[in-house]
Amino acid sequence: MRLYLIGAGVIARTHAEAAAKLGEEVELRVADPNPTVLQGFLAAFPQATGFGNADAMLTAEDPEPDDIVVVATPPVFHAGPAIAAARSGRHVLCEKPLAMTVDEAEEMLAAATEAHVLFGSCSTRFRGLPHNEAVKGVLASGVLGDLIHLDFVTKWPRSRAGIEYQPASRWFLDSRASGGGVVMDWGPYDFSTLFDLLQPTRVEIVDAWLGQIRTAADPVDVVHDTESTAGASLRIARADGVLRVNYERANGTHAEEFARAELEGTRGALRWTPFDSQAPVYLTTDRDGELKEEVVTPPERSDLTIFDRPLVHFHAAMRGRPSLASVGAAAVDEFRCVRGIYDAARTGEPTVVEVRR
Ligand SMILES: NC(=O)c1ccc[n+]([C@@H]2O[C@H](COP(=O)([O-])OP(=O)(O)OC[C@H]3O[C@@H](n4cnc5c(N)ncnc54)[C@H](O)[C@@H]3O)[C@@H](O)[C@H]2O)c1
pLDDT tens, 65-87?
999 999 999 999 999 999 999 99
Distance 11 CA to ligand 1 centre (A): 6
Say yes or no to pLDDT of 95 above 90: yes
Task: Quickly state the pLDDT bin for 357 (edges 50, 70, 90).
Answer: confident
pLDDT tens, 215-240?
999 999 999 999 999 999 999 999 98
Distance 189 CA to ligand 1 centre (A): 17
Task: Quickly state the pLDDT bin for 12 (edges 50, 70, 90).
Answer: very high
Atom of ligand 1 nearest to the CA of 7: 34
Least Cα distance to 331 among 134, 92, 135 occurs for 92
Burial 91-112 (b: 16+ CB within 10 A, else e): bbbbbbbbbbebebbbebbebb
Section 90-103 average pLDDT: 98
pLDDT of residue 197: 98
Q: 130-301+324-354: which CATH topology?
A: Dihydrodipicolinate Reductase; domain 2 (3.30.360)
Distance 73 CA to ligand 1 centre (A): 3
Say yes or no to pLDDT of 157 above 90: yes
3-state secondary structure of 83: helix
The residue length of the chain stands at 357
pLDDT of residue 134: 98
Task: Confirm or reject: Cβ of 37 under 6 Å from ligand 1.
Answer: yes
Atom of ligand 1 nearest to the CA of 78: 41
The domain 2-117 having CATH identifier 2.60.120.560: the answer here is no
Least Cα distance to 19 among 68, 83, 61, 62 occurs for 68
Least Cα distance to 91 among 3, 192, 8 occurs for 3
pLDDT tens, 105-129?
999 999 999 999 999 999 999 999 9
Distance 9 CA to ligand 1 centre (A): 5
Domain ranges of the chain: 2-117, 130-301+324-354
pLDDT tens, 314-349?
999 999 999 999 999 999 999 999 999 999 999 999
Task: Confirm or reject: Cβ of 16 under 6 Å from ligand 1.
Answer: no
